[in-house]
Amino acid sequence: MPRHDEIEFWFSIGSTYTYLTVSRLHQVAAARGVRFRWRPFSVRAIMQEMNNVPFATKPIKLDYMWRDVERRASLYGLPIRVPAPYPLKEFDLANRVAVLGQAEGWCADYVRAAYRRWFVEGKEAGSEPNLSESLAEIGQVPSRVIPLARSDAIGQAYATATEEARRLKIFGAPTFVTRGEVFWGDDRLDDAVAWHAHGKLSPVT
């Protein structure tokens, strides 16, 4: 169950808009005095169950999405080079590594590194060289991490997290959960922070 002293940040590496969140969440946390719990899960599994294919087969919507992410990255002062490789070929591996990182305490650093290489350098997350480079950058040994990420134990943890997301009625990423409320989308981050603090929406201060 979500803890009362933090906002749950549900994400899947592979979500394009999640780049905007992971790249600034540490700054938001410091500025607003709030804690976030990073919760990797398989948004792809949930979306497939809903027969929801948002961009891959819709070129006009895909073009809009890339331009929208680019505009919002500029708003936040984030570097970006789009279009980035999409969809990810190794979606599940990228997220299994995040699940392991959550258990060991280096999830956020890995996710930020992986997204930066994906959205700035054009190196696909979950695949090489992004995977090994991102792990090495944060002091993790790829030859240890990658086999563990492929293990049955991490697979079960990944499935359990995804099932918890289903129970919370999460259907997309990024999603924020606080005080029993669900806020979907990077552009709802300020709403989630306000609700966490006051139990209602309020202007950003």
Residue-number span of the structural domain to which 93 is assigned: 7-198
Q: Confidence class of residue 202 from pLDDT cuts 50, 70 and 90?
A: confident
Q: Report the pLDDT value the prediction gives residue 58, as an integer from 0 to 100.
A: 81
Flag whether pLDDT at 54 surpasses 90: no
In a domain, 1, yes or no: no
Per-residue pLDDT tens over the stretch 102-130: 999 999 999 999 999 999 999 999 999 99
Percentage above 90 pLDDT, the chain:
91
Whether the pLDDT of residue 3 is over 70: the answer is no
Task: Give domain status of residue 144, yes or no.
Answer: yes
pLDDT of residue 43: 97
**CA count, 13 A, side-chain hemisphere, 152:** 0
How far is residue 21's CA from residue 23's CA, in Å, rounded to a whole number?
5
Query: How many C-beta atoms lie closer than 10 Å to residue 9's C-beta?
Result: 26
**How far is residue 104's CA from residue 138's CA, in Å, rounded to a whole number?**
12
| Structure confidence by residue, pLDDT tens digits, 88-107 | 999 999 999 999 999 999 99
Does residue 75 form part of some domain?
yes
**Within-domain flag for 204:** no
Six-digit token string for 143 = 């030859």
Indicate the number of domains in the chain: 1
CATH of the domain at 112: 3.40.30.10
Residue 90 within a domain: yes
pLDDT for 53:
65
